Amino acid sequence: MNEFSVLVGGRAGDGINEAGILIARIFNQLGYHLFQYYDYPSLVRGGHNFSIVRASKKKIGAHCDNVDFILALNQDTIDRHEERLKEGGLLICDSVEVKSDVPKSIGFPLKEIVEEADAPLVARNTCLIGAFCKAAGINWDVLEIVLRKEIPKEIEANLKVARKGYDEAEEQVKAEMFDHPCCPVITGNEIVGLGLLRGDLDAYVAYPMTPSSGVLHSLAGYADNFSIKVVHPENEIAAILMALGFAYAGKMVATGTSGGGFCLMNEGFSLAGMAELPIVVVMAQRPGPSTGVPTYTTQSDLHFVMNAGQGEFTRLVIAPGDAEQTYFWAAFALKLAWEYQAQVVLLTDKALGESAYNLDLDQVEVMAKADPALWSNEGSYNRYATSETGVSPMAFPPQKGQAIKVNSYAHLESGITTEDPVVVTKNQDKLLLKEKSLIAGLKKYPTVNVYGNAQARTALLCWGSNKGVCAELGEKLGLRVVQPVVLNPFPAEKFQEAIKGAEKVISVENNSTGQLARLVQGRGFSVDETILKYDGRPFSVEDLDQKLKVVTI
């Protein structure tokens, strides 16, 4: 077998996400490509959490509904997911907790086993994973390598628990072995953090909000390694304003939040627009309005971020769709922010941020360092000096004999306030000119991607986290898949090129109104159908496959 899907389920606090990652890392050792979808409600203990790990010979970016194995710590898991188990699939479960008439199953008295081994309760997973490895024909050595790496505490006891599962299970299939581990298995949020670091991030200021908090946590964890300043202030308003303080002082900075927090950041975002302070906001979408469905996914804030904050200034909106794009564009967002003194939204979502992927850095374009326009140290400094590009050279305090003045008000070149109609017009024209320069600058970068059959007459439109599932089905069904990564200012020329000759255009989105469809229609492109999903869950491969059959027939 060379493609597997494995579901692990239990209560919050049972280490379900970690169990999924362990399974992913085991497959990684065998040279598979990975994707993990993690589903959890908004609570700390109890409830039902599950992970679906998909391992494949080819690069993947989506999960499957139907699974080969279910690892169930509790009854809930089998009650909810039994129908996902493929014919001949195996249930591996806690024999005390779970009663089931699934034809093929193996059970273990997990509590007893961990007690006997003197292991912590959370090690129950390890027994199931041990049994799974045996059943999938994976060598014990592989499992031991991964466990030793991933479980720093009480490893011997954990190994004992795993061994018990391994020894008692029977081999059902033989997992093919490929080469060697391709690359790290890592979540989208962690990739955002590493991408920002690659882009020379100096500081990250954020208030926790699901599903963006993973970025804050990982950067806080790396602060010492990279010598960066990570600040968690009193609220999102303070977060973006502090970030702008960092930017004024010459530090490359980002903040991150979800929709509700970004509502609070809007005034600061608009301030950045007027004062021309470079800022990157990681905006991880979750279903709204308001609190919505906090730990689930959506793509419903595209038009919100494109129009965030009062007044007319350019909101550069970038929505990466896979691991490599996320790494590249997180770094690149900082570069663009500093080169164009731009206000950038890196638009992600729960599915992108909290799923785990292989990150293959060999597939990421080489990036040059940011090259912002800096003051030449000659004459007297004017923060908003006129230039051909609309971008004024920056200087940062201290500069002897100079006053570096930024302003939220309409301002003279010096940064001093004015309400003069001629200068007010000039201020606005400067921002428009800067947008033109930005659009020109973006031309040499992959702002629109095409997957599948580039000549096909039927084209799927997608953005953000749907890239994975669309690209896979585009390949399989011979469809053209067009993914704009930069959504504002819209890369119309590249999009035109990508969509040329398509006779039927279908927009696939995780929202109820077709926000990308509306965006491209507004630019004069036609969209014939939409496939919309807005239950907070990402499309699975089967799910979209079926829906596509309906509209493409």
Q: Which residues contribute to the site for another protein (CB under 8 A)?
A: 25, 28, 149, 181, 183-186, 194, 197-198, 200, 202-203, 205, 222-223, 225-229, 231, 233-235, 237-239, 241-251, 253, 267-268, 271, 275, 359, 361, 396-409, 414-417
Rounded to whole angstroms, the Cα distance separating 324 from 89 reads: 33
- Residue closer to another protein by CB (options 13, 233) is 233
β-bridge mates for residue 458, sequence order? 504
- Residue closer to another protein by CB (options 287, 415) is 415
Select from 454, 469, 456 the least CA-distant residue to 531. Answer: 469
- Residue closer to another protein by CB (options 252, 450) is 252
Contact at 8 Å (CB) between 280 and 317? no
Angle, CA of 269, 270 and 276, to the nearest 5°: 90
Q: Map residue 322 onto helix, strand or coil.
A: coil
Q: HSE of 28 in the Cβ direction (CA atoms, 13 Å)?
A: 22
Q: C-beta of 256: minimal distance to another protein in Å? A: 15
| 227 Cβ contact partners less than 8 Å away, ≥ 6 residues apart | none
358-396: buried (b, 16+ CB within 10 Å) or exposed (e) per residue? bbbeeebeeeeebebbebeeeeebbbbeeeebbbbebbe
- Residue closer to another protein by CB (options 381, 539) is 381
Q: C-beta of 295: minimal distance to another protein in Å? A: 23
Select from 216, 208, 209 the least CA-distant residue to 190. Answer: 216
Q: C-beta of 29: minimal distance to another protein in Å? A: 8
- Residue closer to another protein by CB (options 131, 331) is 331
Rounded to whole angstroms, the Cα distance separating 378 from 394 reads: 13
Q: Tell me the residue length of the chain.
A: 553
- Residue closer to another protein by CB (options 167, 420) is 420
Rounded to whole angstroms, the Cα distance separating 438 from 336 reads: 8
Contact at 8 Å (CB) between 349 and 299? yes
- Residue closer to another protein by CB (options 119, 186) is 186
Between the alpha carbon of residue 46 and those of residues 16, 49, 409, the distances in Å are 12, 9, 51
- Residue closer to another protein by CB (options 203, 317) is 203
Rounded to whole angstroms, the Cα distance separating 473 from 479 reads: 8
Rounded to whole angstroms, the Cα distance separating 173 from 317 reads: 46
- Residue closer to another protein by CB (options 57, 409) is 409
- Residue closer to another protein by CB (options 408, 437) is 408
Determine the residue type at 12.
A
Q: C-beta of 231: minimal distance to another protein in Å? A: 6
Q: C-beta of 282: minimal distance to another protein in Å? A: 17
Q: C-beta of 213: minimal distance to another protein in Å? A: 19
Look at the block and give the residue holding tokens 């799923």: 355
Q: C-beta of 212: minimal distance to another protein in Å? A: 19
Q: C-beta of 345: minimal distance to another protein in Å? A: 19
Q: C-beta of 398: minimal distance to another protein in Å? A: 4
| Type and span of the H or E element at 530 | strand 529-532
Q: C-beta of 540: minimal distance to another protein in Å? A: 25
- Residue closer to another protein by CB (options 82, 200) is 200
In the sheet where 85-94 sits, what is the strand order?
105-108, 85-94, 67-72, 3-12, 46-56, 33-39, 356-358, 185-187
Q: C-beta of 432: minimal distance to another protein in Å? A: 22
